[in-house]
Structure 1
Amino acid sequence: MSYTVIDAGGLPVEAADVYLGNLTVTGRSPYTVEAYAHDLRDFFEWTSQRDVDYRHLGLEDVAEFFAWLQRSRPARQPGVYQLPGAPPAVGNTTLVRKGAALAGLYRFHARRDETVPALLGELTGPRPMGRYVPMLAHARRHGPGLDAYSPIRIGRCVSFPGRATSTPPG
């Protein structure tokens, strides 16, 4: 099974399509590929709203994307503002998964295209594999060591009745 990210004009987003195809071919869980497709749809919707190419983003831009993700879906439209104190629309686990999808996209394309910033491929540190183990898992090369640096940190959300705050990463 394969997934495709479609832009506002109804055309496939090539960068996401090639990356998701690679995930499928290399034996990633179909559930992971589906989740990453949803995550990348959000990312390319955000880049489309700002009329920027994903190859020209920096760390500050990606941090802005994560702040945008925490807004409710109706508040993600241009010209709509969210009041301070509104609860985040997505939880920490979802933000971490979206960060992993985005980091994988950048790592994949940085190996293929020198215009893609390689640093954005290090958005998240190494994560243990889930329960899904592909048939050739024993042949997989392992990623960076345990001391890998992650320039984007996602703070833990603490919810109180009627309002939400975020604690700084520790």
Structure 2
Amino acid sequence: MSYTVIDGSGLPVEAADVYLGHLTATGRSPYTVEAYAHDLRDFFEWTCQRDPDFRCLGLEDLAEFFVWLQRSRPARQPGVYQLPGMPPAVGNTTLVRKRAALAGLYRFHARRDETVPALLGELTGPRPTGRYMPMLVHTRRHGPGPESYSLIRIATAPKVPATVTAGEIRRLIEACASLRGRALPYQAAARGEQ
């Protein structure tokens, strides 16, 4: 199952449709494809307000797109301005995902058509385009190359691990103590006991 991005006139956006079909055909998670479809819908909605040909956009234009994304839905219309100090409508983690969706779109189309610039395509990170990444890729002596840094930076807060409360620790120790000395059925069968 794949997803389709529809433009304002009800027709599929070919650039998005081909890319999403490629993601589905190469075995990407349906949740990733769905999320990228939403991200590309926003992108092509924005391009329709400016220049409908995504191949003509530059890096400065894409920076404006990420500013536009942070506006509330009603403020994303042409001629509507948002007051300074308003909270962003989209969090930074979502912006990072939207940047990855755009990078993939540009990388995919740059391989198919030399008129498409790989604006974000080669700037998504040290990860190759396939699924395999060596476990210790971060320890390479030469470090990440210039392709690993996106020119459109989005600050994200580090994820804070959940803290285990004293009560949860006590319940865990009590559960371990109550199981100690009792052989579970599959352990007894593995040892040949009845």
Is the structural similarity TM-score above 0.5? yes
Structure with the larger strand share = 1
Partner of 1:69: 69
**1:100–1:123 CA contact under 8 A, matched in 2:** no
Query: Post-superposition shift, 1:70?
Result: 0.4
Aligned-partner Cα distance in 1 for 2:71–2:116: 27
Aligned-partner Cα distance in 1 for 2:106–2:50: 19
Query: Post-superposition shift, 1:123?
Result: 4.3
Q: Match for 1:60: what amino acid?
A: E
**Structure 1 segment 42-57 matched on structure 2, within 5 A:** 42-57=42-57
Partner of 1:7: 7
Relative contact order, CA 8 A, sep 6+: which one is greater?
1
Q: Match for 2:59: what amino acid?
A: L
Partner of 1:146: 144
Q: Deviation digits for residues 15-35 of structure 1, max 9, x if unmatched?
A: 000000000000000000000
**Structure 1 segment 1-170 matched on structure 2, within 5 A:** 1-126=1-126, 146-147=144-145, 148-156=148-156
Look up the SS of the partner of 1:121 in the other structure.
coil
**1:36–1:98 CA contact under 8 A, matched in 2:** yes
Post-superposition, which runs of at least 4 consecutive aligned residues in structure 1 deviate over 6 A? none
Aligned-partner Cα distance in 1 for 2:31–2:49: 27
Query: Post-superposition shift, 1:124?
Result: 2.7
Q: Match for 1:57: what amino acid?
A: L
Q: Match for 1:146: what amino acid?
A: P
How many pairs does the alignment contain?
A: 146
Q: Match for 1:23: what amino acid?
A: L
Q: TM-score when scaled to structure 1?
A: 0.79
Aligned-partner Cα distance in 1 for 2:17–2:117: 19
Look up the SS of the partner of 1:43 in the other structure.
helix
Query: Post-superposition shift, 1:156?
Result: 4.5
**Root mean square deviation, CA, Å:** 2.3
Call closer, same or farther: CA 1:26–1:63 in 2, change over 3 Å.
Answer: same
**2:120–2:150 CA contact under 8 A, matched in 1:** no
Query: Post-superposition shift, 1:122?
Result: 3.0
Look up the SS of the partner of 1:63 in the other structure.
helix
Query: Post-superposition shift, 1:149?
Result: 2.6
Q: Match for 2:46: what amino acid?
A: W
Q: TM-score when scaled to structure 2?
A: 0.70
Please tell me whether Structure 1 or Structure 2 has the larger radius of gyration of its CA atoms.
2
**2:3–2:20 CA contact under 8 A, matched in 1:** yes
Partner of 1:165: none
**1:122–1:149 CA contact under 8 A, matched in 2:** no
Aligned-partner Cα distance in 1 for 2:24–2:117: 24
Unpaired runs of 5+ residues, structure 2, are 138-142, 158-194
